[in-house]
């Protein structure tokens, strides 16, 4: 296993399809039910009026400024482009919208109404690479909160001093939409209305966040490049009800409309073992916890569902241990990675050793012909195109998977593949663009899930992978860059010894205050990922941030997990199970019936119930499950601070959990 390298992650790109605006409390975009024929587009001077659900958008072709007239007044969807798009030519009417060209820059724009959205597409027809800095958002005086899908999701008051300051690490940052956001979107709330921005063309698009006069603003920057195959740029803009999760609801609707929304129910039908994810907590095992005896001890505690994973080292789970796990009702599978290659004589990881001349022949090549250095500069990153070209005859990936599951494992965790770190490969033998890289990853993950019938997971899954994965570890965590610095402090965080219980996993640690605030302050957290994808795949936190790793955040993390109906992640060893077993069992016993009932249901509502946002409520399906969490210190309507109430349809009384009562 390895940690994401922040510098590499910052360069990566990997999520597709979504741009959003401000929203309020319901997870339903204003336009969702709109299926009426579009009204006529009106062209006057250099302005174009296009009907939206909830109003009429006006696009200024000279500057690309976009505003919307609504029943509540005028809402600014975008300020003028931050760099001049060029001199606009005449506007011509198309079958469903309008088109114009900036002749001096080679950009052609089409704009039309699409299911209640304003869909703007920009195509570069020139030979030179160029950028467009648009839309420019959050500039209106009424903008109140920015929604950002970092991990599970954040809704940040635009004038919040912490988020505008240096400790938050947000203002002044450039966020690659294809790799650093879990969903390709952002949004704003603005006093009872909102705007959602979806970017289907996330590869080549960066979201720049700035603080201007103490308020957060955002600008999308798209790089047009023929070589990178990013000459098309599309943004879908929608008026919403202002809910903090409305951008995600808009994106969910987009995915459904385009046949790109996965279904956990269908995945269970195709691979019945996927059903064992429902009600299961997740844990990586070490030492005695990997043995048949260790598995039976866990089951004897009353834990009826678990996903058990193990590192790709010299002591994998044996066939007897895997059999015991299956008999207990658990899923079990190895960690693997297809991403790294090293010299077999010097490799420091079994997953980096490949046969023949995979290393170095399959290395991704940079523009200067040098290999793309691997994680922490170990070996190289391997080209997905090289593997795809070789697989029909050499079966390197199929042989690896067969070897890794020879013990009977029914699950698989494929590190990095869905995390979005995409590469341009300049090799003459296996050239590829980032878009081809993504397509290759999807193809090989689909083979593991559909062909090998494995319960497939990956790291920090971008939404583009939602149809092929059954679970992920990482998209539940809104990572602050300070986390990587904290993890490098081996004295405080722990290292990779002892072998049966490495400190990096087992040693309790404390996050720096700004990092903890940015990642786990519940008043900023909103379930964007779950609103979009709860019924598509099971989402958990990063695997190295086990529930016991951060003692100060345990109560809030437990409440968030129950509120979002997502599993907690653990790391267990032979000795640690004796200490933490009762706590794990108590939490899982509470979670299991809730997730079994609602794990395949959509999150249909999210709202905050108090002005300070410490009391929050979610609903799944048609009232299948309703959860209320109190992150505060004062009781709310009989619910004590630090506790959660969950009510399944048919329950006469809510089921209550106060994590501090079971936390060690």
Residue-level pLDDT at 25: 32
Per-residue CA distances from 456 to 210, 621, 629 (Å): 38, 25, 30
Kindly tell me if the per-residue pLDDT of 20 is higher than 50.
no
Q: Mean pLDDT lowest for which of 10-19, 472-481, 523-532? A: 10-19
Residue-level pLDDT at 99: 97
| Mean pLDDT of the 299-314 span | 94
Taking only the tens place, the pLDDT of each residue in 73-83 is 999 999 999 99
Single pTM value for the model? 0.93
| Mean pLDDT of the 448-454 span | 98
Counting residues of the chain whose pLDDT is more than 70, the rounded percentage is 94
pLDDT tier at 244, thresholds 50, 70, 90 = very high
Q: Mean pLDDT score of the chain, rounded to an integer?
A: 93
Task: Give the Cα-Cα-Cα angle 410, 415, 420 (nearest 5 degrees).
Answer: 130
Question: What CA–CA distance (Å, rounded) separates 124 from 128?
Answer: 9
> Could you tell me where the DSSP H helices lie in 227-286?
246-257, 264-270
Taking only the tens place, the pLDDT of each residue in 163-188 is 999 999 999 999 999 999 999 999 99
- What are the φ and ψ backbone dihedral angles of 251, each rounded to 5 degrees? -65, -40
Counting residues of the chain whose pLDDT is more than 90, the rounded percentage is 88
Per-residue CA distances from 237 to 98, 267, 318 (Å): 16, 31, 52
Which string of DSSP letters, residue by residue, matches 343-378?
-TTT-SSGGG--STTHHHHTBPB-TTS-B-B-GGG-
pLDDT tier at 577, thresholds 50, 70, 90 = confident
Kindly tell me if the per-residue pLDDT of 31 is higher than 50.
no
pLDDT tier at 528, thresholds 50, 70, 90 = very high
| Mean pLDDT of the 24-29 span | 35
Tokens representing 59 are 């696009």
| Mean pLDDT of the 424-428 span | 98
Kindly tell me if the per-residue pLDDT of 36 is higher than 90.
no
| Mean pLDDT of the 5-24 span | 32
Kindly tell me if the per-residue pLDDT of 13 is higher than 50.
no
Pairing of strands 66-70, 205-212: unpaired
Residue-level pLDDT at 319: 97
CB 115 within 8 A of CB 257: yes
Kindly tell me if the per-residue pLDDT of 5 is higher than 60.
no
Question: What CA–CA distance (Å, rounded) separates 477 from 550?
Answer: 13
Instruction: Kindly state the helix (H) or strand (E) to which residue 324 belongs, with its residue range.
Output: helix 319-327
Residue-level pLDDT at 136: 98
Q: Is the peptide bond before 22 cis (omega within 30 degrees of 0)?
A: no
CB 209 within 8 A of CB 254: no
CB 211 within 8 A of CB 164: yes
Among 57-61, 94-98, 103-107, the range of highest mean pLDDT: 57-61
Question: What CA–CA distance (Å, rounded) separates 163 from 176?
Answer: 19
pLDDT tier at 479, thresholds 50, 70, 90 = very high
Per-residue CA distances from 68 to 54, 118, 560 (Å): 9, 10, 36
Taking only the tens place, the pLDDT of each residue in 185-228 is 999 999 889 999 999 999 999 999 999 999 999 999 999 999 99
pLDDT tier at 39, thresholds 50, 70, 90 = low
Q: Walk across the sheet containing 625-630 and list its strands.
A: 603-608, 615-620, 625-630, 643-648, 655-657
Question: What CA–CA distance (Å, rounded) separates 664 from 660?
Answer: 8
Residue-level pLDDT at 664: 58
Residue-level pLDDT at 21: 29
CB 284 within 8 A of CB 310: yes
Kindly tell me if the per-residue pLDDT of 1 is higher than 70.
no
Return the residue matching tokens 């509120």: 563
| Mean pLDDT of the 629-633 span | 98
């Amino acid at each position: 296993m390895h940690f994401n390298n922040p510098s590499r992650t910052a360069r990566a790109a990997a999520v597709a399809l979504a741009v959003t605006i401000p929203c309020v409390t319901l997870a339903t975009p204003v336009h969702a039910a709109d299926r009426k024929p579009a009204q006529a587009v009106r062209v006057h001077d250099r302005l174009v009026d296009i009907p939206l659900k909830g109003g009429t958008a006006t696009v200024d072709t000279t500057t690309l400024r976009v505003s919307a007239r609504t029943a509540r007044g005028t809402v600014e969807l975008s300020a003028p482009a931050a760099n001049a798009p060029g001199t606009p030519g005449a506007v011509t009417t198309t079958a469903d919208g309008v088109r114009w060209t900036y002749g001096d820059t080679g950009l052609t724009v089409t704009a039309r109404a699409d299911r209640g959205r304003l869909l703007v597409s920009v195509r570069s027809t020139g030979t030179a690479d160029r950028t467009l800095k648009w839309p420019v958002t959050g500039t209106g005086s009424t903008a109140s909160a920015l929604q950002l899908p970092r991990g599970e999701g954040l809704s940040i008051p635009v004038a919040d001093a912490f988020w505008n300051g240096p400790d938050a690490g947000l203002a002044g940052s450039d966020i690659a939409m294809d790799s650093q956001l879990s969903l390709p979107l952002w949004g704003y709330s603005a006093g009872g209305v909102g705007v959602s921005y979806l970017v289907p063309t996330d590869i080549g698009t960066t979201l720049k966040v700035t603080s201007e006069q103490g308020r957060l603003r955002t600008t999308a920057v798209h790089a047009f490049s023929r070589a990178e195959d990013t000459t098309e740029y599309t943004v879908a803009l929608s008026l919403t009800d202002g809910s903090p999760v409305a951008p995600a609801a808009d994106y969910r609707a987009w995915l459904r409309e385009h046949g790109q929304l996965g279904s956990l129910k269908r995945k269970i039908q195709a691979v019945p073992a996927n059903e064992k994810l429902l009600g299961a907590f997740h844990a990586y095992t070490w030492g005695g916890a990997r043995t048949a005896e260790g598995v039976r001890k866990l089951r004897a505690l009353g834990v009826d569902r678990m996903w058990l994973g193990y590192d790709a080292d010299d002591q994998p789970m044996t066939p007897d241990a895997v059999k015991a796990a299956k008999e207990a009702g658990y899923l079990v599978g190895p960690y693997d990675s297809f991403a790294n290659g090293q010299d077999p004589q010097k490799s420091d990881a079994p997953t980096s050793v490949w046969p023949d001349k995979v290393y170095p022949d399959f290395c991704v090549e940079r523009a200067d012909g040098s290999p793309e250095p691997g994680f922490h500069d170990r070996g190289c990153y391997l080209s997905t195109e090289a593997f795809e070209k070789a697989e029909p005859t050499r079966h390197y990936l199929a042989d690896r998977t067969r070897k890794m599951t020879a013990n009977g494992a029914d699950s698989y965790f494929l590190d990095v593949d869905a995390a979005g770190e995409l590469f341009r490969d300049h090799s003459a033998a296996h050239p590829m663009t980032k878009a081809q890289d993504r397509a290759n990853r999807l193809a090989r993950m689909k083979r593991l899930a559909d062909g090998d019938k494995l319960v497939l997971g990956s790291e920090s899954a971008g939404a583009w992978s939602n149809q092929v994965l059954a679970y992920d570890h990482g998209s539940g965590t809104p990572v602050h860059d300070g986390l990587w610095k904290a993890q490098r402090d081996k004295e405080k965080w722990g290292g990779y010894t002892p072998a049966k219980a490495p400190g990096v996993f087992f040693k309790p640690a404390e996050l720096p205050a700004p990092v903890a605030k940015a990642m786990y302050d519940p008043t900023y957290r909103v379930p964007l990922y779950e609103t979009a994808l709860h019924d598509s795949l099971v989402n958990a936190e990063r695997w190295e941030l086990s529930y016991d790793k951060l003692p100060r955040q345990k109560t809030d993390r437990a409440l968030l997990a129950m509120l979002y109906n997502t599993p907690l992640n653990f790391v267990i060893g032979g000795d640690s199970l004796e200490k933490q077993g009762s706590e794990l069992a108590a939490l899982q016993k509470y979670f299991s019936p809730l997730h079994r009932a609602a794990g395949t249901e959509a999150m249909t509502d999210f709202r905050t119930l108090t002005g300070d946002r410490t009391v929050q409520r979610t609903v799944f399906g048609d009232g299948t499950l309703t959860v209320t969490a109190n992150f505060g210190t004062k009781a709310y309507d009989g619910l004590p601070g630090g506790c959660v109430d969950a009510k399944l349809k048919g329950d006469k009384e809510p089921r209550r959990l106060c994590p501090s009562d079971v936390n060690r």
